[in-house]
């Protein structure tokens, strides 16, 4: 099964996992979080990211979701994406994590899964019009 790493600044990935467990009723299998500190050095962050990706990559192909394109987590993950069995997606959201937790990741290739989850993440972003909300009495 494809492994997933939520690579963010601070505790965002941990919060996504807590929310996913609350919604699904169980912890997300094969999904881990790595939160980089706000005051860490780039070299120590690089070493931590490299070690974590190498450990997860030994088990299976790896999908890395990062919080923001251009961020340190994204840039450090991109350095590891020279391995064809590591794909990095920037700009992740909770809807993507929920979908991955519910998806049978063994049924898709890494390329298929990465394209599918990008589509699901984009489709979860919507502008809500006033006509779509219920008015309170």
| Predicted confidence (pLDDT) per residue in 117-134, tens digit | 999 999 999 998 888 766
Has residue 11 got a pLDDT over 70?
Answer: yes
Give 57-93 pLDDT, tens digit per residue: 998 999 999 999 999 999 999 998 888 999 999 999 9
* pLDDT of res. 49: 96
- CATH number of the domain at 95, please: 3.40.50.510
**Number of domains observed in the structure of the chain:** 1
SS (H, E, C) 62-126: EEEEECCCCCHHHHHHHHHCCCCCEEEEECCCHHHHHHHHHCCHHHCCHHHHHHHHHHHHHHCCC
* pLDDT of res. 130: 86
131 belongs to a structural domain: no
């Amino acid at each position: 099964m494809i492994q997933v790493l939520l690579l963010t600044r601070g505790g965002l990935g941990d919060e996504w996992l807590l929310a996913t467990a609350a919604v699904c009723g169980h912890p997300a299998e094969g999904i881990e979080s790595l939160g980089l500190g706000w005051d860490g050095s780039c070299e120590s962050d690089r070493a931590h990211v490299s070690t974590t990706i190498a450990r997860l990559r030994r088990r299976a192909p790896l999908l890395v979701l990062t919080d923001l394109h251009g961020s340190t987590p994204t840039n450090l993950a991109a350095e590891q994406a020279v391995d064809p069995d590591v794909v990095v997606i920037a700009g992740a959201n909770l809807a993507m994590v929920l979908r991955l937790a519910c998806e049978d990741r063994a049924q898709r290739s890494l390329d298929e899964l990465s394209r599918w989850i990008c589509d699901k993440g984009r489709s979860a972003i919507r502008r809500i019009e006033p006509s779509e909300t219920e008015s309170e009495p």
